Chain A
Amino acid sequence: MNDHHEIVSSSAGVAGLYNAPTSVRMAHIAAGLKKRRAASKRLRIYGIAAICTAIGFLCILLTTIISNGYTALQQTEIAVTIDVPADEIVDANGVIDVDKSRNYNWDGLVKRSFRKAFPEVTGMLEQRSLGELLSANAGYDLRLQIEAAGTVPTGAVTYWVKSSDDVDMLMKGRMDRSIDEKKRRIKDNQLVWFDKIVAEGSVRLAFNSTFFTAADSREPESAGVLGAIVGSAMALVITVMLALPLAVMAAVYLEYFAPPGRLTDFIEVNVNNLAAVPSIVFGLLGLAVFLGFFGMPRSAPLVGGMVLALMTLPTIIIATRASIRAVPTSIRDAALGLGASPMQTALDHVLPLAAPGILTGTIIGIAQALGETAPLIMIGMVAFIVDVPTSFTDPATALPVQIFIWSDSAERAFYERASLAIMALLLFLISMNMTAVLLRRKFEKKW
């Protein structure tokens, strides 16, 4: 742009150059050329600088998330020797009775057994602080282990049960032991006991499989992302099932059949506007229509998927229209010329060729939907949900919601879990994008 102006203005100023000797003219051109080359070099440097800045920020973001979160892949466990009283749990046939097991005081059993290793701890308060080294869900943890094994062993057996989140933080070096005791969540006497069991080898860091097999929990050591992943997946299935066919049909109609006129223009403008509406508005709409009018259940991924479908609809319509327009008119003309009906032309010839573009648009829309929390607040998917959903109408959260809830929790250990959940979300996104790229490659046609 600048170069162009320069030439115009300089040619006006030095009109006499045309009559000048060749050497003068060449010198003038060389000087201009140098400037232009410098300008394009500068532009390249700006571009590289911009990309480097973006990559730099991305690296900082990823390093922070990974360094905060990778430790959540492990969970501190403490070895406790426990003699499980079989007669309290099994029925007459020696099989574990679920009702009996559920009502049995597992917490008491674990804590009693743990205290046996510390005969010197006698006071009630001290015994309680000792018990706080174990997870508040240690009893439940043991119960799950025994129910999974199916049988109750006779005699004392050593079990690894989860430690409390504070001990977990201490073990991972995320708690400063040097600060004043009053300000520390683990007290001095607890530190002594902790050091003792560490010296005995009764503490270990084990792979945190709970994180991938459980849903939310109040105790960080029992919390997992499975519930949120299933919730997200269910909502997205609904979103794709609704948004994709509706959007493709709308786009085909607008491109092929809609009579040009004010009404069509009006619809077109509105579709473009809808793509820019803040997502919370769709949440409000969902609350009023799906929950209020149709009486659908709160917190259900079905409703979440429907709200997200409304949100992604305009994105997919716009992408579909663009890729339909990119199909060469010769294809269309040839089909029509050979006697195909407009419908046959659209469905059999244009849409298959536009499929890669439609797919890309859909994936962009779905990726957006995967990251949304705002519309889900209104329909109750931002909630504490412990059971992994098994149907589309079961209460469920979504992955970004789970990250939000954990990062808002008081317990420090939730913070690292939130970071690990962010990594899970990124993986989910990457795998989705990869599928899109592969599918696009498969369908892509060249001419």
Chain B
Amino acid sequence: MRFSILTAGVIAGMLAAGGAQARDQISIVGSSTVYPFATIVAEKFGQSSGFKTPVIESTGTGGGMKLFCKGVGVEHPDITNASRAMKSSEAKLCADAGVEFQEFIVGNDGVAVSNSLNGQKFNISIAHVAAALAAELPNQGFGGESAKANGLNTWAEVDAYVAKAMGTAAIGLPAQPVSIMVPPPTSGTRDAMGSLFMKAGWKKLGLEGSGYKKLREDGAAIEVGENDALIIEKLVADKDMFGVFGYSFFDQNRDKVQASLLDGVELNFENIASYKYPGARPLFFYVKKQHMGVIPGMKEFINEFISDKAMGMDGYLFPAGLVPLAADDFAKQVAAKNSL
């Protein structure tokens, strides 16, 4: 008997101790692309501010938005990172739960299409990427017929298809099988890929409608988790494979992989900053306004992040692969920060 009373006591105690506790460190969720930058800022902040170091979870942009927009209160995260802007459906979710938020842009990133250094370096157009990845393509017999399952199995076939569709000469891609690892649907990089490569490439091919939205399911497009290190390992093991991921990961692994030129533009820091690279995109984080002043250190953390010493040209995020904002964009972020 004593035994069971003790157990019941322990359980009751745990629930009481755990429930509705005040939180004294910031809780951050969201994009795995922003994660490496946010963690660097969080650690510096923890070392120098005297506040506790924020806790950061890498949930993917979509997963982060879901958690962030669930409600106001200590059990919900304070900040969510995103590698794309918040969708209107997510903004509605937030509004329904009474969550007020402020958007910040932290810098720029480029979506890389990479393969192993042992493979051939590609110089392709985003039209090639779209034609290689779309689930269904029209005009595969080049006769104006309607869309059917994508049957372009090698890059040479993709090359021929794009050349025909755009009325240009083939660029001589090899007859190597199409095999591309893409991020999962919860990832912001996947969304960015959808709009920057698939949608824009679709247009370039002279196609209409929303056929670009669905990716191939015949094994040419391989969905991998949020584990970017795994993608690098696989690329090294198979030189015919391509992978889609953020610039910082490419930058850290230059000795293993190379990035394809897209529309003739090399993936590098300058071309991302100038948005010449077609895969360039901004990175965001969203702050829950109601948590300002409730969770200790919120204001100080944002001050640490939105600062020249973190995000600037000489900032500590630059070596990690974050491309700084243009001066006027940066000024806008500082203004937004000061208005909080």
A182, A245, A382: most-surrounded residue (chain B CB, <10 A):
A245
Known contacts A298-B27, A299-B55, A386-B53; A245 and B3 CB within 8 A of each other: yes
CB distance from A436 to the nearest CB of B (A): 21
Q: Does residue B307 face the partner (Cβ distance < 8 Å to A)?
A: no
| A392–B43 touching, CB < 8 Å | no
Does any Cβ of A come within 8 Å of B75's Cβ? yes
Decide: A185 near B254, CB < 8 A? Known: A249-B4, A392-B17, A410-B248: yes
Which A residue sits closest to B253, measured CB to CB?
Answer: A410
Asked whether A136 lies within 8 Å of B316 as measured between CB atoms, the reply is yes
Interface residue total, chain B, C-beta cutoff 8 A: 50
User: Is A99 in the interface zone, CB < 8 Å from B?
Assistant: yes
Given contacts A185-B255, A411-B252, contact A218 B36 (CB under 8 A): yes
Q: How far is the CB of B102 from chain A (nearest CB, A)?
A: 22
Query: Which of B6, B7, B14 has the most chain A CB within a 10 Å cutoff?
Result: B14
Stretch in A72-80, A289-297, A321-329 touching the partner: A289-297
Q: Are A297 and B228 in contact (CB under 8 A)?
A: no
A300-B43 contact given A383-B55, A407-B229, A411-B252, CB 8 Å threshold: no
Q: What is the CA–CA distance of A185 and B15 in the complex, to the nearest angstrom?
A: 50
CB of B47 within 8 Å of the partner chain: yes
* Cα distance A249–B19 in the bound complex, in angstroms: 27
* Closest Cβ neighbor of B258 among chain A residues: A183
Please tell me if the beta carbons of B255 and A242 are within 8 angstroms of each other in the complex: no
Given known A-B contacts A296-B19, A410-B36, A241 and B10 have beta carbons under 8 A apart = yes
User: Contact: B56 with A384, CB < 8 Å?
Assistant: yes
A362 to chain B minimum Cβ distance, whole angstroms, is: 15
Q: Would you call A410 and B228 a contact (CB within 8 A)?
A: yes
Report if A395 contacts B (CB, 8 A).
Answer: yes
The answer for the CA separation of A385 and B55 in the assembled complex, in Å, is: 5
The reply to whether A182 and B57 form a contact with Cβ atoms under 8 Å apart is no
> Is A102 part of the contact surface with B, judged by Cβ < 8 Å?
yes
A306 in contact with B14 given A245-B4, A295-B20, A385-B53 (CB within 8 Å): yes
Q: Mark B9-32, 1 if CB is under 8 A from A, else 0.
A: 011001101111101010100000
The smallest C-beta distance from A419 to any residue of chain B, in angstroms, reads 14
A409 B229 Cβ-Cβ under 8 A: yes
Q: Which of A136, A137, A241, A384 contacts B42 (CB 8 A)?
A: A384
Contact A303 B50 (CB under 8 A): no
| A 391-405 contacts with B by CB, 8 A | 392-393, 395
Answer yes or no: A140 CB below 8 A from chain B CBs: yes
Is B91 interfacial (CB 8 A cutoff)? no
Determine the distance from Cα of A242 to Cα of B7 in the docked complex, in whole angstroms.
7
Q: Which of A86-144 contact B (CB under 8 A)?
A: 99, 102-103, 128, 132, 136-137, 140
Query: A218-B39, A242-B10, A410-B36 known; A302 and B55 CB under 8 Å?
Result: no
Q: Determine if A384 and B255 form an interchain contact, defined as CB atoms under 8 angstroms apart.
A: no
Question: CB-CB < 8 A to A176: which residues of B?
Answer: 255
B211 on the A face (CB < 8 A)? no
B135-158: contact bitstring with A at CB < 8 Å (1 yes, 0 no)? Answer: 000000000000000000000000
CA distance A407 to B230 in the complex (A): 9
* Contact of A238 with B by CB under 8 A: yes
Q: Are A410 and B56 in contact (CB under 8 A)?
A: no
Answer whether A387 and B46 are a contact pair too, CB < 8 Å, given A182-B254, A246-B7, A249-B3. yes
Given contacts A246-B7, A291-B75, contact A183 B46 (CB under 8 A): no
Chain B proximity of A208: nearest CB distance (Å): 18
Q: Does A81 contact B (CB under 8 A)?
A: no
Decide if B43 touches A297 in the complex (CB within 8 Å).
no
Least Cβ–Cβ distance between B183 and chain A, in angstroms: 14
Distance between B37 CB and nearest chain A CB, rounded to angstroms: 9
| Cβ-defined contact, A294 with B10, below 8 A | no
Instruction: From the candidates A303, A384, A407, name the one contacting B18 in the complex (CB within 8 A).
Output: A303
Q: Which of B4, B36, B56, B117 contacts A383 (CB 8 A)?
A: B56
Q: Mark B254-282, 1 if CB is under 8 A from A, else 0.
A: 11000000000000000000000000000
Task: Contact check, A387 vs B50: say whether CB atoms are below 8 A apart.
Answer: no
Contact of A393 among B6, B17, B50, B253 (CB under 8 A): B17
User: Is A6 an interface residue when CB atoms closer than 8 A count as contact?
Assistant: no
Alpha-carbon separation in the docked complex, A86 to B335 (Å): 37
CB–CB B15/A384 < 8 A: no
A193 to B312, CA, bound (A): 27
A356 at the interface (CB under 8 A from B): no
Determine the chain A residues whose CB is within 8 A of the CB of B57 once the complex forms.
Answer: 299, 380, 382-384
Interface members, chain A 278-297 (any B CB < 8 Å): 290-291, 294-297
Given A218-B36, A380-B57, are A393 and B47 neighbors across the interface (CB < 8 Å)? Answer: no
When distances are taken between beta carbons in the complex, the residues of chain A under 8 Å from B25 are 387, 395
Q: Does B48 contact A (CB under 8 A)?
A: yes
A242–B35 touching, CB < 8 Å: no
Inter-chain pairs besides A218-B36, A218-B40, 19 sampled, C-beta below 8 Å: A128-B314, A184-B255, A218-B39, A241-B10, A242-B11, A242-B14, A245-B4, A246-B7, A249-B3, A291-B75, A295-B19, A296-B19, A297-B21, A297-B74, A299-B55, A385-B53, A387-B53, A408-B229, A410-B249
Q: Can you list 11 A-B contacts with CB-CB less than 8 angstroms, sorted by A residue number?
A: A102-B47, A102-B49, A136-B319, A218-B39, A246-B7, A300-B18, A382-B57, A384-B39, A392-B17, A395-B27, A410-B248
The 6 closest A-B pairs by CB, nearest first: A296-B18, A410-B252, A386-B53, A384-B56, A383-B57, A245-B7
